[in-house]
Amino acid sequence: MKNWLSEAPTVPANCGECPVRHLTVCQPLKAERLEIVQNFKNGDRVLPAGSQLYQPGATCPELYNLLDGWVSLYRVLESGRCQILGFALPGSFLGFQPDLHGPMLHGAECITDVAVCVVGRRTFPALIERPRGLAVRLAQMLSQDAIYAHDNLTNIGARQARARVAHLLLELYLRLNGGEFKTANQEVGIPLTQIHLADALGLTSVYISVTLRQLREEGLLSFRKRRLQILDPVGLAEVAEYDGEPAVQDISPLDRRLAGG
């Protein structure tokens, strides 16, 4: 697993040059206050595809802003089965957990070559209390993480395989495009193998294969050679049981049971 359709990731000279600042936890900081976090930084780091940012069960002395590349967050059961919890894209803040200095509850593996901005764990509490708005921004991002997890949970728990695959690819497409469809049939690069999809969706890679073939034969999407093409957005959203903005529920789960739905 090598480079991802691009040269090696590069790192910014300083926080002012950070290419993903508006996506990161630093977002609320005005330019002149950036040097506060700059002083807390332990520099940047580049990791090759396939390497581990941190491992489940081990302690990790740092926290990371993902600057470039894709990272998978995962857990492994004793049975050997691997569950991918989600995919982190540039701007993600990685490694925070309630017990800040305890062993990591999940692992982080670089899917592509990756660049991260490093912050020491020991100094982090001092940093987070300093600039106004930083802690709230962190809360906002963690809340978004929980929502992504809820999306995945709903996807795995409540949808059939076809819908799961369709939904995940649609969601990734939208995340990469800022939530909108660009030109029709536009291709977008997604550096995942069918094994990644399987581990993320609670399926096997062979069933991913047949499902992708079905979706392709139905003219909904094409995902080959790590390039995704949405051929029929409307049809795909239907198959995916996608609810962009959930409609107001005038009927509760309890009532639905009572109604005999």
Which residues 172-201 are close enough to bind DNA by CB under 7 A? 193-195
Positive or negative, the CA dihedral 243, 148, 93, 173 is negative
DSSP conformational letter for 246: P
Which two structure tokens, joined as six digits, stand for 223? 């995902």
CB nearer to its own copies: give 97 or 222: 97
141 close to 93: Cβ distance less than 8 angstroms? yes
Cβ closest to its own copies, residue 227 vs residue 256: 256
Are the beta carbons of 183 and 249 closer than 8 angstroms?
no
For 48, left (φ over 0), alpha (ψ -120 to 50), or beta?
Answer: beta
> Count of alpha carbons within 13 Å of 222, Cβ hemisphere only?
10
Binding partner of 204, given DNA, its own copies, none, CB within 5-8 angstroms per partner class: DNA
Cα 242 off chain centre by: 18
Which DSSP letter does residue 88 get? Answer: E
Site track 135-164 with DNA (rule: CB under 7 A), x = hit? -------------------------xxx--
- Looking at the Cβ atoms of 90 and 191, the one nearer to DNA is 191
Picked from DNA, its own copies, none, the partner binding residue 229 (CB below 5 to 8 A depending on kind) is none
Residue nearer to DNA on the CB measure, 71 or 119? 71
For position 215 contacting DNA by CB under 7 A, the verdict is no
Shortest separation between residue 227's beta carbon and DNA, angstroms: 10
Which residues ranging from 219 to 258 are in contact with DNA (CB under 7 A)?
A: 224-225, 257-258
8 A C-beta contact, residue 95 and residue 54:
yes
Looking at 10, 154, 177, 205, which residue binds DNA (CB under 7 A)? Answer: 205
Positions in the binding site for DNA (CB under 7 A)? 1-3, 160-162, 193-195, 202-207, 209-210, 212-213, 224-225, 257-258
